A and B are shown apart, each in its own frame.
Chain A
Amino acid sequence: MIDAQIVVIAKEPVAGRAKTRLTPPYSPAQAAQLAASALEDTLRAVAQVPVRHRVLALDGLPGSWLPPGFVVISQRHGGLDERIAGAMADAHRLHPVPVMLIGMDTPQVTPELLTSSMETLAEHDAVYGPAADGGFWLYGRRVPDPATMLGVPMSRPDTGTVLLHRLRRECRSVGLAPELVDVDTAADAALVAAEAPWSRFAAMLEAMALPATAGAER
Protein backbone atom coordinates (compact mmCIF):
# COMPACT_ATOMS: atom_id res chain seq x y z
CA MET A 1 0.00 0.00 0.00
CA ILE A 2 1.47 3.34 -1.10
CA ASP A 3 0.84 6.02 1.51
CA ALA A 4 -0.26 8.70 -0.96
CA GLN A 5 -3.29 9.66 -3.03
CA ILE A 6 -4.29 9.92 -6.66
CA VAL A 7 -6.59 12.77 -7.66
CA VAL A 8 -8.52 12.54 -10.92
CA ILE A 9 -9.72 15.95 -12.09
CA ALA A 10 -12.74 15.57 -14.35
CA LYS A 11 -15.84 17.11 -15.80
CA GLU A 12 -19.16 15.28 -15.65
CA PRO A 13 -19.70 13.80 -19.12
CA VAL A 14 -22.78 15.78 -20.17
CA ALA A 15 -23.52 16.49 -23.84
CA GLY A 16 -22.44 19.99 -24.79
CA ARG A 17 -20.19 20.40 -21.74
CA ALA A 18 -17.60 17.61 -21.99
CA LYS A 19 -14.99 17.08 -24.75
CA THR A 20 -16.50 19.80 -26.92
CA ARG A 21 -13.39 19.81 -29.13
CA LEU A 22 -14.47 16.44 -30.53
CA THR A 23 -17.46 18.24 -32.12
CA PRO A 24 -17.24 18.09 -35.09
CA PRO A 25 -16.87 15.36 -36.28
CA TYR A 26 -18.68 13.76 -33.35
CA SER A 27 -22.06 15.01 -32.17
CA PRO A 28 -22.21 16.55 -28.66
CA ALA A 29 -23.93 13.38 -27.40
CA GLN A 30 -21.20 11.17 -28.90
CA ALA A 31 -18.47 13.41 -27.48
CA ALA A 32 -20.07 13.02 -24.05
CA GLN A 33 -20.18 9.22 -24.45
CA LEU A 34 -16.50 9.21 -25.41
CA ALA A 35 -15.74 11.41 -22.41
CA ALA A 36 -17.65 9.02 -20.14
CA SER A 37 -15.68 6.04 -21.49
CA ALA A 38 -12.34 7.82 -21.05
CA LEU A 39 -13.30 8.83 -17.52
CA GLU A 40 -14.38 5.32 -16.61
CA ASP A 41 -11.17 3.80 -18.04
CA THR A 42 -9.15 6.30 -16.01
CA LEU A 43 -11.06 5.68 -12.78
CA ARG A 44 -10.86 1.89 -13.18
CA ALA A 45 -7.10 2.08 -13.70
CA VAL A 46 -6.75 4.27 -10.59
CA ALA A 47 -8.98 1.88 -8.62
CA GLN A 48 -6.42 -0.89 -9.22
CA VAL A 49 -3.43 1.06 -7.89
CA PRO A 50 -2.51 0.03 -4.33
CA VAL A 51 -2.70 3.58 -3.03
CA ARG A 52 -4.19 4.79 0.28
CA HIS A 53 -6.72 7.33 -1.08
CA ARG A 54 -8.45 8.00 -4.39
CA VAL A 55 -10.11 11.36 -4.96
CA LEU A 56 -12.28 12.57 -7.82
CA ALA A 57 -12.28 16.37 -8.14
CA LEU A 58 -15.46 16.70 -10.14
CA ASP A 59 -17.15 19.53 -11.97
CA GLY A 60 -20.76 18.31 -11.86
CA LEU A 61 -22.37 15.20 -10.38
CA PRO A 62 -21.22 11.57 -10.23
CA GLY A 63 -23.03 9.03 -12.43
CA SER A 64 -23.13 5.28 -12.88
CA TRP A 65 -19.61 5.52 -14.33
CA LEU A 66 -18.13 6.07 -10.84
CA PRO A 67 -16.53 2.89 -9.44
CA PRO A 68 -16.44 2.36 -5.67
CA GLY A 69 -13.48 3.56 -3.64
CA PHE A 70 -13.40 7.24 -4.60
CA VAL A 71 -13.98 10.27 -2.41
CA VAL A 72 -15.64 12.99 -4.50
CA ILE A 73 -14.86 16.67 -3.95
CA SER A 74 -16.04 19.61 -6.00
CA GLN A 75 -13.72 21.65 -8.20
CA ARG A 76 -12.92 25.24 -7.41
CA HIS A 77 -13.98 27.96 -9.83
CA GLY A 78 -11.65 29.71 -12.26
CA GLY A 79 -9.10 28.74 -14.86
CA LEU A 80 -7.63 25.26 -15.19
CA ASP A 81 -4.53 26.32 -13.25
CA GLU A 82 -6.72 27.38 -10.30
CA ARG A 83 -8.79 24.20 -10.52
CA ILE A 84 -5.71 21.95 -10.52
CA ALA A 85 -3.96 23.87 -7.74
CA GLY A 86 -7.21 23.90 -5.72
CA ALA A 87 -7.92 20.19 -6.22
CA MET A 88 -4.44 19.23 -5.02
CA ALA A 89 -4.59 21.57 -2.02
CA ASP A 90 -8.10 20.39 -1.05
CA ALA A 91 -7.18 16.71 -1.40
CA HIS A 92 -4.12 17.33 0.75
CA ARG A 93 -6.27 19.01 3.37
CA LEU A 94 -8.50 15.93 3.39
CA HIS A 95 -5.58 13.47 3.43
CA PRO A 96 -2.18 15.01 4.31
CA VAL A 97 -0.13 12.61 2.14
CA PRO A 98 1.59 13.12 -1.26
CA VAL A 99 -0.75 13.92 -4.16
CA MET A 100 -0.55 12.78 -7.78
CA LEU A 101 -3.05 14.32 -10.18
CA ILE A 102 -4.22 13.16 -13.61
CA GLY A 103 -7.04 14.22 -15.92
CA MET A 104 -9.65 12.24 -17.85
CA ASP A 105 -8.01 12.53 -21.27
CA THR A 106 -5.60 9.58 -21.04
CA PRO A 107 -7.77 6.44 -21.02
CA GLN A 108 -4.72 4.42 -22.12
CA VAL A 109 -3.22 4.83 -18.65
CA THR A 110 -2.58 1.52 -16.84
CA PRO A 111 -2.41 0.67 -13.14
CA GLU A 112 1.25 -0.30 -13.65
CA LEU A 113 2.13 3.07 -15.16
CA LEU A 114 0.36 4.89 -12.32
CA THR A 115 2.05 2.70 -9.72
CA SER A 116 5.51 3.32 -11.15
CA SER A 117 4.77 7.07 -11.30
CA MET A 118 3.81 6.97 -7.62
CA GLU A 119 7.08 5.20 -6.89
CA THR A 120 8.89 7.98 -8.77
CA LEU A 121 7.13 10.54 -6.57
CA ALA A 122 8.28 8.65 -3.47
CA GLU A 123 11.90 9.30 -4.55
CA HIS A 124 11.48 12.94 -5.62
CA ASP A 125 9.74 16.14 -4.52
CA ALA A 126 7.62 16.16 -7.66
CA VAL A 127 6.69 13.96 -10.59
CA TYR A 128 5.83 15.28 -14.03
CA GLY A 129 4.37 13.45 -17.04
CA PRO A 130 4.57 15.31 -20.36
CA ALA A 131 1.79 15.12 -22.95
CA ALA A 132 2.56 14.89 -26.67
CA ASP A 133 0.81 18.23 -27.39
CA GLY A 134 3.19 20.17 -25.12
CA GLY A 135 1.00 19.99 -22.03
CA PHE A 136 1.20 17.52 -19.16
CA TRP A 137 -0.94 14.49 -18.27
CA LEU A 138 0.38 13.85 -14.78
CA TYR A 139 1.60 16.08 -11.99
CA GLY A 140 2.47 15.03 -8.47
CA ARG A 141 3.89 16.71 -5.39
CA ARG A 142 5.09 15.36 -2.07
CA VAL A 143 3.55 18.50 -0.53
CA PRO A 144 1.41 20.52 -2.94
CA ASP A 145 2.21 24.20 -3.42
CA PRO A 146 -0.56 26.03 -5.31
CA ALA A 147 1.85 28.83 -6.27
CA THR A 148 3.71 26.51 -8.67
CA MET A 149 0.62 25.92 -10.77
CA LEU A 150 -1.12 29.28 -10.49
CA GLY A 151 -0.43 31.37 -13.57
CA VAL A 152 0.89 28.54 -15.76
CA PRO A 153 -0.69 29.31 -19.16
CA MET A 154 -2.92 26.36 -20.08
CA SER A 155 -3.59 24.58 -23.39
CA ARG A 156 -0.51 26.01 -25.08
CA PRO A 157 2.41 24.22 -26.71
CA ASP A 158 4.68 25.54 -23.93
CA THR A 159 2.35 24.72 -20.98
CA GLY A 160 4.41 21.70 -19.96
CA THR A 161 7.79 23.36 -20.27
CA VAL A 162 6.64 26.34 -18.20
CA LEU A 163 5.48 23.99 -15.44
CA LEU A 164 8.61 21.83 -15.64
CA HIS A 165 10.80 24.92 -15.51
CA ARG A 166 9.03 26.16 -12.38
CA LEU A 167 9.27 22.71 -10.77
CA ARG A 168 13.01 22.48 -11.45
CA ARG A 169 13.45 25.88 -9.83
CA GLU A 170 11.29 25.15 -6.76
CA CYS A 171 11.97 21.49 -6.01
CA ARG A 172 15.18 19.71 -5.07
CA SER A 173 14.37 16.90 -7.50
CA VAL A 174 11.76 16.23 -10.16
CA GLY A 175 11.04 12.72 -11.43
CA LEU A 176 9.68 12.11 -14.91
CA ALA A 177 6.87 9.84 -16.10
CA PRO A 178 6.67 8.69 -19.74
CA GLU A 179 5.07 10.93 -22.37
CA LEU A 180 1.45 10.13 -23.34
CA VAL A 181 -0.92 11.40 -26.02
CA ASP A 182 -3.98 13.02 -24.48
CA VAL A 183 -7.31 13.12 -26.22
CA ASP A 184 -8.24 16.56 -27.39
CA THR A 185 -9.24 16.21 -31.04
CA ALA A 186 -10.68 13.38 -33.13
CA ALA A 187 -7.19 12.62 -34.49
CA ASP A 188 -5.86 12.16 -30.92
CA ALA A 189 -8.83 9.94 -30.13
CA ALA A 190 -7.90 7.55 -32.95
CA LEU A 191 -4.24 7.44 -31.80
CA VAL A 192 -5.15 6.74 -28.19
CA ALA A 193 -7.68 4.07 -29.12
CA ALA A 194 -5.04 2.31 -31.24
CA GLU A 195 -2.65 2.42 -28.28
CA ALA A 196 -5.23 0.98 -25.86
CA PRO A 197 -7.46 -1.39 -27.84
CA TRP A 198 -8.62 -3.01 -24.57
CA SER A 199 -10.15 0.24 -23.29
CA ARG A 200 -13.83 1.23 -23.05
CA PHE A 201 -12.77 4.33 -24.93
CA ALA A 202 -11.52 2.31 -27.93
CA ALA A 203 -14.68 0.20 -27.94
CA MET A 204 -16.88 3.29 -27.88
CA LEU A 205 -14.89 4.95 -30.66
CA GLU A 206 -15.15 1.78 -32.73
CA ALA A 207 -18.91 1.65 -32.17
CA MET A 208 -19.18 5.21 -33.42
CA ALA A 209 -17.06 4.66 -36.56
CA LEU A 210 -17.68 7.81 -38.50
CA PRO A 211 -19.00 7.50 -42.05
CA ALA A 212 -16.05 9.63 -43.21
CA THR A 213 -13.48 7.41 -41.48
CA ALA A 214 -15.15 4.26 -42.76
CA GLY A 215 -15.05 5.72 -46.26
CA ALA A 216 -11.35 6.55 -45.96
CA GLU A 217 -10.57 3.01 -44.84
CA ARG A 218 -12.40 1.40 -47.73
Chain B
Amino acid sequence: MIGELYTESLAGAAVEIEHVDGTRAPLEATRWREPIAGDEELLTRCAGPTLDVGSGPGRLTVALTRRGVPALGIDITPHAVHLTRRAGAQALVRDVFGHVPGSGRWATVLLADGNIGIGGDPLTLLKRVRELLRPGGWVLADVAPPGTASKVDRVRLRHGDELGEWFGWATVSAADIARLGVSAGFTCVDHWTRSGRWFARLR
Protein backbone atom coordinates (compact mmCIF):
# COMPACT_ATOMS: atom_id res chain seq x y z
CA MET B 1 0.00 0.00 0.00
CA ILE B 2 2.82 2.15 1.00
CA GLY B 3 4.13 5.11 -0.93
CA GLU B 4 3.93 6.92 -4.17
CA LEU B 5 2.35 4.12 -6.19
CA TYR B 6 -0.59 3.80 -3.82
CA THR B 7 -1.20 7.53 -4.17
CA GLU B 8 -1.16 7.15 -7.97
CA SER B 9 -3.58 4.25 -7.67
CA LEU B 10 -5.99 6.39 -5.64
CA ALA B 11 -5.92 8.83 -8.54
CA GLY B 12 -6.90 6.03 -10.93
CA ALA B 13 -3.55 4.77 -12.28
CA ALA B 14 -3.47 1.08 -13.30
CA VAL B 15 -1.34 -0.04 -10.35
CA GLU B 16 -0.94 -3.75 -9.69
CA ILE B 17 -0.20 -5.70 -6.56
CA GLU B 18 2.53 -8.29 -7.09
CA HIS B 19 3.26 -11.33 -4.90
CA VAL B 20 6.67 -12.97 -4.31
CA ASP B 21 5.71 -15.81 -6.65
CA GLY B 22 5.38 -13.23 -9.44
CA THR B 23 1.57 -13.31 -9.73
CA ARG B 24 -0.10 -9.91 -10.13
CA ALA B 25 -3.60 -8.46 -9.78
CA PRO B 26 -4.99 -4.95 -10.28
CA LEU B 27 -5.12 -2.95 -7.01
CA GLU B 28 -8.05 -0.78 -8.10
CA ALA B 29 -7.71 1.56 -5.13
CA THR B 30 -10.43 3.83 -6.53
CA ARG B 31 -13.00 1.21 -5.45
CA TRP B 32 -12.39 2.40 -1.88
CA ARG B 33 -13.65 5.90 -2.80
CA GLU B 34 -17.30 4.80 -3.18
CA PRO B 35 -19.60 2.99 -0.72
CA ILE B 36 -19.25 -0.79 -0.99
CA ALA B 37 -22.14 -3.24 -0.51
CA GLY B 38 -22.03 -4.49 3.07
CA ASP B 39 -20.56 -1.28 4.55
CA GLU B 40 -23.78 -0.91 6.53
CA GLU B 41 -22.85 -4.08 8.52
CA LEU B 42 -19.82 -2.24 9.86
CA LEU B 43 -21.32 1.24 10.20
CA THR B 44 -24.35 0.23 12.30
CA ARG B 45 -22.08 -1.60 14.77
CA CYS B 46 -19.81 1.36 15.45
CA ALA B 47 -21.06 2.32 18.91
CA GLY B 48 -19.26 5.40 20.17
CA PRO B 49 -15.87 6.85 19.28
CA THR B 50 -14.52 4.87 16.33
CA LEU B 51 -10.97 4.59 15.06
CA ASP B 52 -10.79 3.62 11.38
CA VAL B 53 -7.36 1.99 10.96
CA GLY B 54 -5.97 2.23 7.41
CA SER B 55 -8.83 4.55 6.53
CA GLY B 56 -7.58 5.18 2.99
CA PRO B 57 -9.64 7.86 1.22
CA GLY B 58 -11.99 7.65 4.19
CA ARG B 59 -15.34 6.45 2.95
CA LEU B 60 -16.17 4.81 6.30
CA THR B 61 -14.75 7.65 8.44
CA VAL B 62 -16.82 10.11 6.41
CA ALA B 63 -20.01 8.00 6.59
CA LEU B 64 -19.68 7.71 10.38
CA THR B 65 -19.07 11.43 10.78
CA ARG B 66 -22.19 12.20 8.74
CA ARG B 67 -24.21 9.99 11.11
CA GLY B 68 -22.88 11.80 14.13
CA VAL B 69 -20.60 8.98 15.31
CA PRO B 70 -17.29 10.51 16.45
CA ALA B 71 -14.70 8.99 14.12
CA LEU B 72 -11.01 9.36 13.36
CA GLY B 73 -9.25 7.84 10.38
CA ILE B 74 -5.56 6.98 10.54
CA ASP B 75 -3.48 6.09 7.52
CA ILE B 76 0.21 6.16 6.63
CA THR B 77 -0.53 7.60 3.16
CA PRO B 78 -0.69 11.41 3.35
CA HIS B 79 -2.75 11.75 0.16
CA ALA B 80 -5.39 9.35 1.53
CA VAL B 81 -5.60 11.42 4.73
CA HIS B 82 -5.92 14.57 2.63
CA LEU B 83 -8.87 13.06 0.69
CA THR B 84 -10.60 12.10 3.96
CA ARG B 85 -10.23 15.59 5.38
CA ARG B 86 -11.42 17.19 2.16
CA ALA B 87 -14.55 15.04 2.43
CA GLY B 88 -15.26 16.53 5.84
CA ALA B 89 -13.97 13.91 8.30
CA GLN B 90 -11.07 13.82 10.75
CA ALA B 91 -7.98 11.91 9.78
CA LEU B 92 -4.31 11.82 10.75
CA VAL B 93 -1.18 10.44 9.13
CA ARG B 94 -0.33 7.76 11.68
CA ASP B 95 1.07 4.25 11.70
CA VAL B 96 -1.19 1.98 13.78
CA PHE B 97 1.97 0.61 15.43
CA GLY B 98 3.20 4.11 16.34
CA HIS B 99 1.66 6.78 18.55
CA VAL B 100 -2.13 6.89 18.11
CA PRO B 101 -4.27 9.47 19.94
CA GLY B 102 -6.87 8.29 22.46
CA SER B 103 -5.14 5.00 23.19
CA GLY B 104 -7.34 2.92 25.50
CA ARG B 105 -10.42 5.04 24.82
CA TRP B 106 -11.87 3.86 21.50
CA ALA B 107 -15.24 2.11 21.60
CA THR B 108 -14.75 0.56 18.18
CA VAL B 109 -11.72 -0.04 16.01
CA LEU B 110 -12.39 -0.74 12.34
CA LEU B 111 -10.11 -2.99 10.29
CA ALA B 112 -12.10 -2.79 7.07
CA ASP B 113 -11.31 -3.91 3.52
CA GLY B 114 -8.71 -6.49 4.45
CA ASN B 115 -6.85 -4.11 6.77
CA ILE B 116 -6.45 -6.98 9.23
CA GLY B 117 -3.59 -7.70 6.81
CA ILE B 118 -1.68 -4.54 7.79
CA GLY B 119 1.89 -5.34 8.78
CA GLY B 120 1.68 -9.00 7.73
CA ASP B 121 1.30 -10.25 11.30
CA PRO B 122 -2.37 -10.27 12.34
CA LEU B 123 -1.67 -11.54 15.87
CA THR B 124 0.60 -8.57 16.57
CA LEU B 125 -1.89 -6.20 14.91
CA LEU B 126 -4.81 -7.49 16.99
CA LYS B 127 -2.78 -7.23 20.21
CA ARG B 128 -1.90 -3.65 19.27
CA VAL B 129 -5.49 -2.77 18.46
CA ARG B 130 -6.65 -4.23 21.79
CA GLU B 131 -4.46 -1.65 23.56
CA LEU B 132 -6.27 1.10 21.66
CA LEU B 133 -9.75 -0.07 22.74
CA ARG B 134 -11.50 0.98 25.92
CA PRO B 135 -12.67 -1.80 28.25
CA GLY B 136 -15.71 -3.40 26.64
CA GLY B 137 -14.82 -1.99 23.22
CA TRP B 138 -14.67 -4.11 20.09
CA VAL B 139 -12.95 -4.59 16.77
CA LEU B 140 -14.92 -4.90 13.53
CA ALA B 141 -12.99 -6.49 10.68
CA ASP B 142 -13.48 -7.73 7.16
CA VAL B 143 -12.17 -11.28 6.90
CA ALA B 144 -11.82 -13.73 4.02
CA PRO B 145 -14.46 -16.43 3.35
CA PRO B 146 -14.11 -19.59 5.50
CA GLY B 147 -12.73 -21.70 2.64
CA THR B 148 -9.78 -19.34 2.06
CA ALA B 149 -6.33 -20.27 3.37
CA SER B 150 -5.09 -17.76 5.94
CA LYS B 151 -1.64 -16.56 5.00
CA VAL B 152 1.05 -13.95 5.25
CA ASP B 153 2.80 -12.68 2.19
CA ARG B 154 5.30 -10.17 0.90
CA VAL B 155 3.80 -7.99 -1.80
CA ARG B 156 4.78 -4.85 -3.67
CA LEU B 157 3.02 -2.35 -5.88
CA ARG B 158 3.89 -2.06 -9.54
CA HIS B 159 2.99 0.44 -12.23
CA GLY B 160 4.52 -0.80 -15.46
CA ASP B 161 8.24 -1.03 -14.65
CA GLU B 162 8.01 1.20 -11.63
CA LEU B 163 8.29 -0.89 -8.44
CA GLY B 164 7.52 -0.15 -4.81
CA GLU B 165 9.21 -1.72 -1.79
CA TRP B 166 8.16 -5.19 -0.60
CA PHE B 167 5.87 -5.12 2.44
CA GLY B 168 4.02 -7.70 4.54
CA TRP B 169 0.30 -8.30 4.11
CA ALA B 170 -1.88 -10.99 5.68
CA THR B 171 -5.14 -12.69 4.77
CA VAL B 172 -7.25 -14.06 7.62
CA SER B 173 -10.03 -16.51 6.96
CA ALA B 174 -13.30 -16.39 8.93
CA ALA B 175 -12.45 -19.95 9.96
CA ASP B 176 -9.29 -18.79 11.79
CA ILE B 177 -10.40 -15.48 13.29
CA ALA B 178 -11.70 -16.93 16.58
CA ARG B 179 -8.44 -18.78 17.29
CA LEU B 180 -6.41 -15.70 16.41
CA GLY B 181 -8.64 -13.36 18.44
CA VAL B 182 -8.36 -15.56 21.52
CA SER B 183 -4.54 -15.65 21.17
CA ALA B 184 -4.60 -11.85 21.03
CA GLY B 185 -6.59 -11.70 24.29
CA PHE B 186 -10.16 -11.21 23.06
CA THR B 187 -12.76 -13.33 24.81
CA CYS B 188 -15.68 -13.23 22.41
CA VAL B 189 -15.31 -13.55 18.64
CA ASP B 190 -18.12 -14.03 16.15
CA HIS B 191 -18.37 -13.81 12.37
CA TRP B 192 -21.14 -13.51 9.79
CA THR B 193 -21.64 -12.89 6.10
CA ARG B 194 -23.63 -10.29 4.17
CA SER B 195 -23.51 -8.92 0.61
CA GLY B 196 -20.75 -11.36 -0.31
CA ARG B 197 -18.45 -10.08 2.45
CA TRP B 198 -17.41 -11.81 5.68
CA PHE B 199 -17.19 -9.81 8.88
CA ALA B 200 -15.91 -10.51 12.38
CA ARG B 201 -16.41 -8.83 15.72
CA LEU B 202 -13.84 -9.30 18.49
CA ARG B 203 -14.52 -8.23 22.06
The A interface, classified by DSSP as helix, strand, loop or mixed, is mixed
- Encoded as 1 (CB less than 8 Å from any A CB) or 0, chain B from 146 to 166 comes to 000111111000000000001
Contact string, A55-68, partner B, CB cutoff 8 A, digits 1/0?
Answer: 00011111110100
B153 partner, pick from A59, A64, A73, A86, beta carbons under 8 A: A73
B150's partner among A60, A90, A91, A94 (CB-CB below 8 A) is A60
Which residues, 56 to 109 on A, are CB-close (under 8 Å) to B?
A: 58-64, 66, 71-74, 76, 86, 89-91, 93-94
Judging by beta carbons under 8 Å apart, are B183 and A62 in contact?
A: no
B152–A93 touching, CB < 8 Å? no
B123 close to A71 (CB less than 8 A): no
Compute how far the CA of A20 lies from the CA of B179 in the bound complex, rounded to whole angstroms: 19
Q: What's the interface size class on B, roughly?
A: 20 to 34
B170 interface residue per 8 A CB criterion: yes
Q: Interface range on chain A: under 10, 10 to 19, 20 to 34, or 35 or more? A: 20 to 34
Over the window 176-197 of chain A, the binary record of Cβ atoms lying under 8 Å from chain B Cβ atoms (1 yes, 0 no) is 0000000000000000000000
Q: Are B123 and A63 touching (Cβ within 8 A)?
A: yes
Known contacts A73-B153, A73-B154, A94-B166, A62 near B123 by CB under 8 Å = yes
From residue B164, how far is it (CB to closest CB) to chain A in Å?
Answer: 14
Cβ of A130 to closest chain B Cβ, rounded Å? 29
On chain A, the residues within 8 Å of B149 by CB distance are: 59-60, 74
Q: A72-B120, A72-B168, A94-B166 are in contact. Are A61 and B151 (CB under 8 A)?
A: yes
8 residue pairs bridging A and B, Cβ less than 8 Å apart: A60-B151, A61-B150, A62-B152, A64-B123, A74-B151, A74-B153, A93-B20, A94-B166
**A-binding residues in B (CB < 8 A):** 20-22, 120-123, 149-154, 166, 168, 170, 172, 176, 179-180, 183
Listed in ascending order, the chain A residues whose CB lies under 8 Å from chain B are 14, 58-64, 66, 71-74, 76, 86, 89-91, 93-94
